[in-house]
Amino acid sequence: MAHHKIASMSITKHNWTKEEVIEIYNKPIMDLLYEAASIHREHHDPNVVQVSTLLSIKTGGCPEDCGYCPQAARYHTSVEGNDLMSVSQVKAQALRAKSSGSSRVCMGAAWRNVKDGPEFDQVLEMVRTINKLEMEVCCTLGMITENQAHRLAEAGLYAYNHNLDTSEEYYKEVISTRGFGDRLQTIENVRKTNVTVCSGGIIGMGESIEDRAGMLVALSTLNPQPESVPINALVAVEGTPMEEEKPVEIWEMIRMVATTRIIMPETQVRLSAGRMNMSREGQAMCFFAGANSIFAGDKLLTTPNPDVNEDMKMFETLGLKPQKPFIKVSQPTTVEAENSQFAPLDEKPKWSRPGHVIEKNLEASGKGKQSFNAF
Ligand code: SAM
Ligand code: DTB
Ligand code: SF4
């Protein structure tokens, strides 16, 4: 049996085409689920699900115009901005997350990109602190340079999250303040270190199946493929340009998860934002289709998420076990600030600013409303 299992191991393919991915996505559900579940159990324990806790260490006031995001300063959402959290606050939250079964803390900051200075130094200290708690540490801080990636790696960062979010074509309809190429560049910068890459996207933003496939092609042709791929269903937040988008159907989520699993067999596929709208049965189908990670805790970054006790009850019902930390990749060593090999370079990287007009974004922003009225 064991021999058979090894002989049938699918080899990771890095040249998926959009047509091939669309064909997989559109398979009859029974065939799609069977194929995805089979590949899933060749590469992972199907009864183990990794649990991450999100922590918004710097909320709101972001200068970008991402059409889905409640934290963009230009949209009128109910998100209240906060300054960077203290290291001791972060430590307390990480300990809470650990005791509720999380193996990873993912710290998010509403930044366009990281700037060298006291705030980044404070984030590095948060990374050191959480790594010393024997938890995997992930950060999502916007664009970073190679030097900043090395400094995060030295502090003991396990993963860096930077989503492609959608296809290169549809990206232009969602964000005008940076380009798709900037995302790829940051992922490349992370790849120069031992930090693992977490990159995925959002469905339900009005994109086509072709766009979903395009995003998956962009992710799966990265070599190596990202160690984790979050699949988010849009949380349509009032005040954002996407406030009126219809919630995605559970079948779309199942298809997206299954397709991701088939084309990226080794990756941890994370069932991310949008679980508030999913039944347990729907989520179970996603786990069967190859999702093997979730965000736990009653809040994502700014929007609600299922209660962690309810999630643990669901795990019990389904016979799922939370994954222990450092199973896939060993724990990084933390280098203290005073022993760092990488001094800040105070670079001024040339991230792009396409600046094209996205009507929906303009209308939703305060400025847009004023100029709209002026006509
Ligand atoms: N500012 C950094 C950046 O954009 O990379 C990090 C934080 S940002 C909030 C991280 C990710 O959250 C985005 O790339 C997007 O995939 C996801 N996200 C933001 N708002 C969302 C929403 N309303 N629904 C689903 N996912 C969302
Ligand atoms: C990811 O792919 N999803 C998370 C995490 N990475 C940073 C964020 C989801 C945010 C949902 C909207 C909110 O709560 O603000
Ligand atoms: Fe800012 Fe990130 Fe939100 Fe875009 S997704 S507005 S960069 S916090």
104 is catalytic: no
> What's the total number of domains in the chain?
1
Ligand 1: lining residues by beta carbon, under 6 Å: 68-71, 108, 110-111, 140, 142, 162-163, 165, 202, 232, 234-235, 237, 273, 301
CA distance 90 to 93: 5
Q: Which residues of 289-323 are buried (b: 16+ CB within 10 A; e: fewer)?
A: bbbbbbbbbeebbbeebbebeebbebbeeeebebb
Tell the residue nearest (CA) to atom 3 of ligand 1.
Answer: 142
> What is the Å distance from ligand 2's center to 323 Cα?
21
Whether pLDDT at 21 is above 50: yes
Tell the residue nearest (CA) to atom 2 of ligand 2.
Answer: 230
Residue 234 covered by a domain: yes
- The reported pLDDT for the residue numbered 374 is 32
Ligand 2: atom nearest CA of 163 is: 2
Ligand 3: atom nearest CA of 65 is: 6
Residue 352 covered by a domain: no
- The reported pLDDT for the residue numbered 350 is 85
Least confident of 20-29, 76-85, 336-345, 365-374: 365-374
69 is catalytic: yes
Can you give the C-alpha Rg of the chain in angstroms?
20
Residue 117 covered by a domain: yes
Whether pLDDT at 7 is above 60: no
- Which one of the listed residues 138, 139, 191, 261 is annotated catalytic? 138
Domain that holds residue 207: 32-326
Whether pLDDT at 245 is above 80: yes
Strands (E), the chain: 48-58, 104-109, 136-140, 159-161, 196-198, 201-203, 228-233, 268-271, 291-296, 321-322
C-alpha of 241 from chain center = 21
> What is the Å distance from ligand 1's center to 35 Cα?
30
CATH, residue 73: 3.20.20.70
- The reported pLDDT for the residue numbered 372 is 39
Determine the average pLDDT of the residues in 13-30: 97
Question: Does ligand 2 have an atom closer than 6 angstroms to the CB of 199?
Answer: no
Question: Does ligand 2 have an atom closer than 6 angstroms to the CB of 300?
Answer: yes
Residue 72 covered by a domain: yes
> What is the Å distance from ligand 3's center to 135 Cα?
25
Least confident of 127-136, 155-164, 263-272, 366-375: 366-375
Whether pLDDT at 373 is above 90: no
The percent of residues above 70 in pLDDT, for the chain, comes to: 95
Write down the mean pLDDT value for the chain.
94
CA distance 156 to 203: 31
Two structure tokens written together for 225: 């493929």
Whether pLDDT at 4 is above 50: no
198 is catalytic: yes
Contacts of 372 (CB under 8 A, 6+ apart): 362, 363
> What is the Å distance from ligand 2's center to 233 Cα?
10
- Which one of the listed residues 128, 178, 183, 270 is annotated catalytic? 270
Residue 369 covered by a domain: no
CA distance 309 to 306: 9
Q: What is the reported pTM?
A: 0.95
Ligand 3: atom nearest CA of 140 is: 2
For residue 339, with 0-12 CB atoms within 10 Å meaning exposed, 13-18 middle and 19 or more buried, which class applies?
A: exposed
139 is catalytic: no
- The reported pLDDT for the residue numbered 3 is 35
Residue 218 covered by a domain: yes
Whether pLDDT at 6 is above 50: no
**Three-state DSSP class for 63?**
coil
Residue 343 covered by a domain: no
Two structure tokens written together for 143: 């664009």
pLDDT digit string, tens, across residues 56-104: 999 999 999 999 999 999 999 999 999 999 999 999 999 999 999 999 9
pLDDT digit string, tens, across residues 190-214: 999 999 999 999 999 999 999 999 9
Whether pLDDT at 1 is above 60: no
Strand partners, 53: 105, 296
Whether pLDDT at 232 is above 70: yes
Residue 339 covered by a domain: no
